[in-house]
Homo-oligomer: A and B are copies of this chain.
Amino acid sequence: MGRSPVKERGRPREFDTDRALDQAMLVFRTRGYHAASISELSTAMGLTSGSIYKAFRDKRNLFIQVFTRYLSQRGTALRNRLAPLTSGRERLAEWLRFYLESATALEGRRGCLVVGSTVESRALDEELAGLARQAVLRNRTFIDEMIRKGQRDGSIDARIDPGLTADLLLCLTLGMRVMGKVTEISDADAAIAQIMKLLD
C-alpha cells in the first residue's frame, strides 16, 4: 500500500498515469477499440502520440491497462454500494440500481467498456476478446452467488433456478448499457420493483 517514496532514476513523468488512463477510458468507452485513434487518444490524454507509445508501449497495451482499470473502478464502486446491505435480496436490488444509474444520462451515453468490447470481440485478437468474455462470465458468477446467498438467508425463493435467473439478470443489465447509449430508461424504483418479480 502507499506510493513508493524511493526516487526513481531519469527524468520524472510530467503527467499522472492514472489520470491519463481515465481520459483514455472515456475515448475507448464512447468510440470502441477500433474507432479510437491514437490522435484522438492523444488529444484526450493531453500527450503526444510519441509520449503515449513511450509510456504505454502501444494502443493494444494501453487498452488492456484501461480495461483493467475500468473493471477495478467499477468493482470498487459496486462493492462500496453493496457493503452496508446484508440480505441477498437487498444486495441484488442495489446491484440493479447501480446498473440502472450507470445506464442513465451522460454516463449511459458513454457506454460500458465490457459491453462494447464484447460486441466488437470478433474484431479483436484472442486475448482482448478473452478479457471481455471473462468479464461477462465473472458477472454471471457474481449474480449467481448473490441469488444463492439470498436463498440461503431466506430473502429469495428457494425454488427459482439461480443459474437461469443470473443469465436473465445479466442480459437485463447488459441490455441497459446498450439502451443507455441512445435513450433513457424509465423510473428506476419502479423498474427495480418489477425486475424483482423474476425472483418470485
Contact = CB atoms under 8 A, between A and B. Distances in A.
Interface of A: 30-32, 34-35, 109, 111, 115-116, 118-123, 132-133, 136-137, 140, 160-161, 163-165, 167-168, 170-176, 178-179, 181-183, 185-187, 190-191, 194-195, 197-198, 200
Contact of A178 (B160, B178, B187): B178
Given A31-B123, A175-B171, A175-B172, A194 B183 contact: no
Interface SS of chain A: helix, strand, loop or mixed? helix
A181 B120 CA distance: 9
Contact of A123 (B35, B109, B171, B191): B35
Contacts of A186: 161, 163-164, 167
A173 B172 CA distance: 8
A178 B175 contact: yes
Contact of A119 (B111, B133, B137, B183): B111
Interface centre among A136, A165, A182, A191 (most CB of B within 10 A): A182
